Amino acid sequence: MSNLNKSLNFYLKRGISCRNLSFLTRKVDDNSKRNSVVKEAERVVGYPTSFLSLRWILNDEIANVATHIRKLIGTNHPLLKTAKNLILRNEQPTWGLIVLLVSKLAGLNSKFSELECDRTADILHSQRIIAEVTEMIRTSHLIHKGLINLEPHDKNFSDLNFGNKLALLSGDYLLSSSFNEVAKLKNFHVQETISSTLRDLAESEFIGLRNKHNEPIPSKPLPVQENINIPLEFGVKPFKLEHVLGNMRAEWTLRNVLSGGSLLGKCCQCALILANHESRVQELGYSFGRNLALAWQAALEKELFREEKFSLVSAPVMLHLETDSSFYKEIEKGLSEDHEINYDQVRKIVLGGPGLEKTAQLQSEFTEEALDTLDKFPNNESKVALVNIVNSL
C-alpha cells in the first residue's frame, strides 16, 4: 500500500506542478491524449461513458425522435448539429463521468447494503443515477438552446418550425424522465438541489440584453472593478444583478454558472449527499464541479472563436470589452432592427486585442481553483484521473 501511495503522490505532484503550463504545451495529438485520459477515468469507475445514456437512447420515444431528425437534413436547423455533437462528443469526458469520479474520490461515509452499492467500483447505484441525470439534463438544455426565432416569410419555414417543435418536445422528454429518476431516489435534499439546477438553466436565458435574433449580447461595460464577489458560490448567497452586469468578468461568470457550472457543481454535491458526507465535503464537490465547468467553457470558447460563428457573450469578446469599451458600439448594432452585426469585423478586432490572452488566463484561474479543491481530498486513483482531465482541457 505504501508503494501505491508513493506512486500516486508522484503523479499528483507532477500533474499539479505542470498545470499552469498546460494550455501552452498542447500538441497536435491533443484529442488522442484526451481520449486516453477519458478511457483511464472510465476504467477507474468501471463504467464506460457511453453506458450513461444508453438506456435512454434505446427506447421507443428516442428512436421515434431520431427518425424525425432525419427529415431536417438540408434545413440547417441547429438541432442537427446538436445531435451530431452529442453522438461524436469529440473525445470529451462527459459530465456524468466527472460525477462518478467525484463519488469514488470521496468514497462512502457510512455503511451501505450490498443492494445499494456496486462493490466493484465502490460507487452507489444512486450515484450512477445522478451521473445519468446530469447527462440528460445537460443534453436537454443543449437541445432546447437549438430553438430558433422564425418569421412566416422565412425560407423553409415549415421544416424549421418542425425542427423547433422536435427540439422542444425531445428536450422536455429528457427533462421529465430525468426528474422521474430523481424522484425515485426519495431524498428530499437531492430533489431540491437538482430542481434548483433547472431554475438556474432557465434564469441563464434571461440575463442581460438580446438582439433581434434573440441572441444574448453583453451589457454595456462599466469601469473595471476589483474584488467583485462572483455570484452563486456554494449555498444561497443573494446578490444584486445590477452589480454584476457590465462588469465583464463577473457577468461572464454569472452567465456560465447559471448555464452549466451550477448543474455540474450541484450534481457532484448530490452524489456526496447520497454517500452521507457532511456539508464541508459537499461544498468541496460543488466547488470542484463549478470551477471545472467554467474552465471547460473558457477553453471551449477560446478554441471555437477562431473557427466558427461565436457568441457575443463568449469570454474573448467580453474580456476585450474590459480594455476597449468603445468596441461596444459594434456590439450595439445588434439591437437595431436595421443593422446586422458584422461577426468577421468583431473577430478581427478581438484577435487584435487582449481578449484571447485574457480568456486563457481566465481558464487558468478556474483550472487552478479546481485543482486546489482536489488537493483537499484524499489521494487515490480517482484523484489522479480528475487531475489528468483538468490538465487535458
Q: What is the predicted pLDDT for the residue at 80? A: 57
Q: What is the predicted pLDDT for the residue at 55? A: 52
Q: What is the predicted pLDDT for the residue at 98? A: 94
Hey, which residues does 210 pair with through a beta bridge? 216
Give how many domains the chain has, as a whole number. 1
CATH number, domain with residue 95: 1.10.600.10
Higher pLDDT, 65 or 161: 161
- 318-363 pLDDT tens trace: 999 989 999 998 888 777 777 788 888 899 999 999 999 999 999 9
- 278-292 pLDDT tens trace: 999 999 999 999 999
For the whole model, what pTM was predicted? 0.83
Q: What is the predicted pLDDT for the residue at 362? A: 94
pLDDT beyond 80 at 46: no
pLDDT confidence tier of residue 26, bands split at 50, 70 and 90: very low
Q: Per residue in 157-167, is it b (16+ CB within 10 Å) or e — as a string?
A: eebbebbbebb
Q: What is the predicted pLDDT for the residue at 77? A: 58
Q: How many residues in the chain? A: 393
Q: What is the predicted pLDDT for the residue at 208? A: 86
pLDDT beyond 90 at 28: no
Instruction: Print the domain residue range for 378.
Output: 2-391
Q: Is the sign of the CA dihedral 181, 183, 188, 193 positive or negative?
A: positive
How many angstroms separate the Cα of 257 from the Cα of each of 52, 59, 62?
A: 24, 32, 29
pLDDT confidence tier of residue 24, bands split at 50, 70 and 90: very low
145-149, 250-254, 375-379: which range is least confident on average? 145-149
**∠ CA 277-182-124, rounded to 5°:** 45
Q: What is the predicted pLDDT for the residue at 30? A: 64
Q: Tell which residue, 289, 261, 303, has the closest CA to residue 31.
A: 303
pLDDT confidence tier of residue 70, bands split at 50, 70 and 90: low
pLDDT beyond 70 at 82: no
Mean pLDDT (whole number) for 82-86: 59
pLDDT confidence tier of residue 293, bands split at 50, 70 and 90: very high
Q: What is the predicted pLDDT for the residue at 12? A: 47
Give DSSP secondary structure letters for 17-58. HTGGGTTTS--TTHHHHHHHHHHHHHHHHT--GGGGTHHHHS
pLDDT beyond 70 at 81: no
Q: Classify 210 as helix, strand or coil.
A: strand
How far apart, in whole angstroms, are the C-alpha atoms of residue 131 and residue 123?
11
- Supply 146's cell numbers: 437549438
Higher pLDDT, 60 or 16: 60
Q: What is the predicted pLDDT for the residue at 190? A: 96
Helix 343-351 vs helix 355-374: crossing angle, to nearest 10: 70
pLDDT confidence tier of residue 57, bands split at 50, 70 and 90: low
pLDDT beyond 50 at 204: yes
pLDDT beyond 50 at 10: no
Q: Is the sign of the CA dihedral 133, 80, 144, 220 positive or negative?
A: positive
171, 140 contact by CB (below 8 A): yes
Place of cell 504545451: 25
Q: What is the predicted pLDDT for the residue at 145? A: 84
Mean pLDDT (whole number) for 110-117: 86
